[in-house]
Amino acid sequence: MGPEFPTTRLRRLRYSAALREMLAEVRPSVRNLIAPLFVREGAGVSREIASMPGQFQLSTDTAMETVRRWAGKGIPAVLLFGIPDAKDAVGSEAWNESAAVQRLCRQIKSELPAMLVITDACLCEYTEHGHCGTLVETPGGAMDVDNDATLDSLARTAVSHARSGADIVAPSAMMDGQVGAIRKALDADGLTRTALMSYAVKFASSMYGPFRDAAESAPKFGDRRTYQMDWRSTGQSFAEAEADLREGADILMVKPAATYLDVIASLKGRFSAPLAAYHVSGEYSAIKAAA
């Protein structure tokens, strides 16, 4: 036991603003933020998302205006989600070199090379059924996402984004082996500098509802619980993170953020890799509603 009051006075370290600043262990900064953008085809589009007040679906031209404004405010990174005009069973527009995300990547890196461009490597926005990959009929007659068939599509999408200038690709489909498949494809294409931010610990959640409005990606049937994590089994977080790191992930992510602070703390204590926390659409909309 050390000295007690009045010898010990913890307030001594708080009287000076300069000392508080020097001793601060947590330093919130705009430099740590990543801003999402929902990009669709067309021109002059700025369509407010009803369930996410203050957020918009933008065409590449209006999105570029937004990126310029954010850059002026010191925001260092954007995360791009694409919304195609045409969707199909496998989401092939995701790897179309002329799609909105790829065009915006090229424009940002040409005009604002210091802006960090991250792309969502998933298929739910691009498939006509709203699931995150190619569907297959199970032995019981139900439809589910074919894990291994989807890996090729995710890899093609990631390579297309990286070729367009994305600094980081962020696979969010929660397919087993997706990080390894993407890393292998990137390296085979000479894109060894492209980083991977894995949605390693992504829980199934109703808090994604507003995002599905924004990205027009609500499943036409069923849900995503066969591939996104079960909130009752948080212990699987370590296995998911370890698997992605082995496969080549550079950054791990937990999603949603605010409702899984215990998981964030546990992962931070166990792994040395950088850790991202995704405050999802439902959290955003709840804060806006409370305000």
Q: Which residues are catalytic?
A: 202, 255
Measure Cα distances from 179 to 20, 76, 260 in Å: 41, 24, 22
Total Cβ atoms within 10 A of residue 12: 9
**Comparing C-alpha atoms, which of 209, 229, 233 is closest to residue 219?**
209
Task: At 242, list the tokens.
Answer: 């370890």
Q: Which residues contact 64 (CB under 8 A, 6 or more apart)?
A: 104, 107, 108, 111
Asked if 57 and 83 touch (Cβ cutoff 8 Å), the reply is: yes
């009803």: which residue's tokens? 50
Query: Number of C-alpha atoms within 13 angstroms, CB side, residue 160?
Result: 23
Total Cβ atoms within 10 A of residue 44: 8
- Interstrand relation of 143-145 and 135-137 (parallel, antiparallel or unpaired): antiparallel
Measure Cα distances from 219 to 60, 127, 159, 212 in Å: 26, 9, 25, 9
**Comparing C-alpha atoms, which of 92, 227, 106, 232 is closest to residue 163?**
106
